[in-house]
Amino acid sequence: MSGPSAQRATATLLGALLLVIPLAVAAVLFASFASAGLQRTYTLFLINLVAVLGLGAFSGNSGILSFGHVAFIGLGAYASAILTLPLATKASALPHLPTLLAGLEWGLPAAFVASLVLVAVFGLAVGLPIMRMGGAAAVIATLGLLLIVHGILIGATDFTRGANAFLGVPRLTNIWTALGVAVLALLVVRWFRDSAAGRQLRASREDETAAKAIGVDVLRRRLVAWTLSATIAAASGVLLAHFLGAFSPSKFYFDDTLTLLTMLIVGGMTTVSGAFFGAIVVTLTIEVLRRVESGVDVFGWETPELFGLTQAGLCVLILIVMYRRPAGMFARLELGEAWIRGWLGRAGGTPVAAASTPVAADVAPGLLRADGITKNFAGLRALDAVDLSLAPGEIVGLIGPNGSGKTTLVNVISGLILPDSGKVAVDGADVTDWPSFEVARAGIGRTFQNIRLFGQLSVLDNVETAALAARGTEAVPADPNARARELLARFGLLDLADRPASALDYGAQRRLEIARALALNPRYLLLDEPAAGMNPTESNELLRDLAALRAETGIGLLVIDHDMSLIMRLCDRIVVLNRGEKIAEGSAAEVQSNPAVIEAYIGRKRARQGASIPTSEGVS
């Protein structure tokens, strides 16, 4: 590993050390000078930190809030407890335990590993259906997971003693054990966040459709994060079981779920640093509220017990933070992330002009074909047996009045929606039923009518994420960072590389979306309204850029736009749709003089009066 990859790994490690070092120093101080009670408090904080890091590894990167991770903590706790319980205690407390388990008395390291493997397999199994849901449905499913596991823990009396306390667990977790696991969890979660998989998952958090369009397998990325986070949560469960020595299913239910969610939300769920400081703030808040809840002496006056004060205080804390800082205290700030950007910028040096390094020289013969595409929406026929072809090195315009089906056709070709009938083929391969991320990897890039950038990611990260998704396909440069910087230089965006994509002006966002699509090294690029919102000067610059792109790379371009002047000057061939049907195809001159096209745009009466097609049209 060398160059930007090594620089990124080093910066990630240093960023993690900014959290690890104070964590270790505090452990030394607590172990050396603090009372036994304070040491227990710090140990419990470390255990909770592992749990919230596990939750953040999934929810922070995917954007899907999970209510089910406490279930993984509970499973880890019970699994390790059963494996380490002394044989005599096991015989009396769990007399109906299966023979295989009844004869086991493992040490903590072996039980730790076995419990994590068990929970990881379980997490993978339940994650397969949950991750397919996405959005609000996935959130509700995680709540269902919590309820189901809680019911199982109560019902499996032969293994868990039901609702009764599980007693006699060896108390093997101390401040150093908890510190070691917490440090490992910090390193793993920070590494995952900055890894290719983590960055792609964060892109899907911003816009799932756009992420799929640049080749990101969102389901797989979510499943990896879910399984990893379940495993880390199980680690905190193992530590907790051997810290408490006794527990019941009620420990792994709504109270602890509220605590973990509060830590994540208060600190900022999108960063590891946010989870870290959220755990600190919430732990201190809980310690204070618990003392007040049980009554305190205030200048000789004993306050009454205030049952439920801790839970109420956490809810108030969430409300205050969400009102003042909706993204959490740390918002999207990650310690050490500025180093990554700065070091990668120096490692990248001065990018080579795109003109000198074409995307795909000597393009192989091929063809993008859409044959007989028909699509209905609730009885409305959006496309009616439409045919379209695009060869490498060709620029085809797709025009038509509002509602003619242009964007729908692009959505079908790119795999975003399935046609009711018809076939889409890329270089002879039938991709009609492929998911959109596989269509993208097959060589079809696209932009959207309404700009779909990853707004909270940097300009550089937007393009580099696409380059990462393209790795492993043919003719893709080995260094995604260099490829991203090259494309940003081509479109005049390199000086803006560190800005959030949402901070760009409209024209720059359009150029960024094209640059991101090109990072896939597509053979065919579908541009949906690329000049929308641009002034004439910007449109002319775009025309020159697209013409140069075709000349340098041999890429095939399908362009939808309302700027008829741009379409007529840019395109070799133009296809015209009206009410879902293809009504004309040919050169600019042929289309402009076609009676059916003129009638579609300006109406039959005005066509008879000799009017011509306007220089701009509405969009669909």
Q: What is the dihedral of CA 315, 317, 320, 326, to 10 degrees?
A: -90
Q: What is the pTM of this model?
A: 0.89
Shared-domain flag, residues 213 and 148: yes
Tell me: do 114 and 98 sit in the same domain.
yes
Annotate 563-587 with three-state secondary structure. Answer: EHHHHHHHCCEEEEEECCEEEEEEC
- Please give the pLDDT value at position 531: 85
What secondary structure does DSSP assign to 382-393, as a single string?
Answer: EEEEEEEEE-TT
Give CA–CA dist 387/74, Å, rounded. Answer: 57
Look at residue 189 and tell me whether its pLDDT is greater than 90: yes
Separation of CA 285 from chain center: 31
Residue 173's pLDDT is 96
Q: Is the dihedral of CA 497, 499, 502, 507 positive or negative?
A: negative
User: Is residue 297 one of the residues assigned to a domain?
Assistant: no
Which pLDDT value is given to residue 290? 86
Q: How many domains does the chain have?
A: 3
Contact by Cβ (8 Å): 576, 386: no
120 and 218 in a single domain? The answer is yes
Structure-model confidence comparison of residues 34 and 357, the more confident one: 34
pLDDT-based confidence at residue 614 (cuts at 50, 70, 90):
low
Residues 580 and 497 in one domain: no
Does 467 share its domain with 602? no
* 253 CA to centre of own chain: 27
Q: Out of 196, 221, 253, pick the residue that ends a domain.
A: 253
pLDDT of residue 357: 40
Q: Is residue 193 in some structural domain?
A: yes
Distance CA 296, CA 119 (A): 41
Q: Which domain holds residue 467?
A: 458-515
Structure-model confidence comparison of residues 534 and 188, the more confident one: 188
Does some domain include residue 361?
no
Mean pLDDT computed over 419-441: 94
pLDDT at 145: 97
With H, G, I as helix, E, B as strand and everything else as coil, classify residue 304.
Answer: coil
17 and 46 both lie in a single domain: yes
pLDDT in tens, 131-186: 998 888 999 999 999 999 999 999 999 999 999 999 999 999 999 999 999 999 99
Residue given tokens 């007040």 in the structure block: 292
Q: In this structure, what token pair is assigned to residue 106?
A: 């493992």
Residue 593 is part of a domain; what is its CATH number?
Answer: 3.40.50.300
Which tokens go with 134? 């996405």
Domain boundary among 192, 223, 253: 253
Let me know if residue 344 belongs to a domain.
no
pLDDT of residue 593: 85
Query: What DSSP state is assigned to residue 556?
Result: E
> Taking a C-beta distance cutoff of 8 angstroms, is the pair 183, 22 a contact?
no
The answer on 244 and 172 residing in a single domain is: yes
Mean pLDDT of the chain: 88
Judge whether 340 lies within some domain. Answer: no
Same domain, yes or no: 125 and 69: yes
**Residues 487, 532: one domain?**
no
**Confidence bin at 616 (pLDDT 50/70/90):** very low
Domain boundary among 495, 515, 535: 515
Which tokens go with 15?
């960023």
| 272 falls within a domain | no
In the predicted structure, residue 469 carries a pLDDT above the cut 70: yes
Look at residue 289 and tell me if it is in a domain: no
CATH number at residue 18: 1.10.3470
619 shares its domain with 547: yes
Are 84 and 219 contained in the same domain? yes
CB count in 10 Å sphere of residue 433: 12
pLDDT for the residue 157: 94
Residues 83 and 174 in one domain: yes
* pLDDT at residue 451 greater than cutoff 60: yes
- Domain membership flag for residue 430: yes
pLDDT digits (tens, 9 = 90+) for 117-131: 999 999 999 999 999
The answer to whether residues 409 and 368 touch, using CB atoms and an 8 Å cutoff, is: no
- Confidence bin at 398 (pLDDT 50/70/90): very high
pLDDT digits (tens, 9 = 90+) for 56-82: 999 999 999 999 999 999 999 999 999
For residues 353-365, give the mean pLDDT: 43
